[in-house]
Amino acid sequence: MIRGRRAMVASLMLAGCGPTRLPPVNGQAKGRVVVFRGFVNFFSTGMNILAAQLRLAGWDASVHNHVEWEAQAGAALAAGPALARPFAIVGHSLGADTALRMSGRLRQEGLATDLLVTFDPHILLDLPRGARRVVNFYQGNETIDRVLRPARDFDGALEQRRDDRHWHLSIDKDTALHAEVLRMLEAIRAGS
């Protein structure tokens, strides 16, 4: 089993540019997680690994190019009450920007995001109303400050977590941060 997981993780790292195929969830999914990669759909290979780990843990997780956010928002809205809960959005770099956009758009349509996790957002740092809990993992080793700015009507909980062990292209690959995402999801599930 361990060997199979290692092979799957290695293939996901190498296949960053193409569509990502993940193993099916055994049994009923614990919830739904939409994961977004960043620029050119290649540098955020850590998001592939995170999605695979979530999938193996029983979450209906899928990983996408950041430009696919509108289609993913449409799919979540179309699911309506059948959308698996808790519902989370995770992204790195431009994928983090996309996660912010998607969460805001869903809230405009009446759908709250249970958990929004950003790994070092790139350009968009304005946090719209829409997520119940937001965790922003960002690095401080570059001149750009990637702290989120909540909108005036933001009514969720926001945690800003600076991590100076990383650079922009390495923070998404940190397995300890991946484990934290899984713990957060499990805590939300246990609380609901």
Does the pLDDT at position 99 exceed 50?
Answer: yes
What pLDDT does 146 receive?
82
What pLDDT does 26 receive?
76
The Cα 139–Cα 169 span in angstroms is 10
What pLDDT does 151 receive?
93
What pLDDT does 79 receive?
96
Does the pLDDT at position 70 exceed 50?
Answer: yes
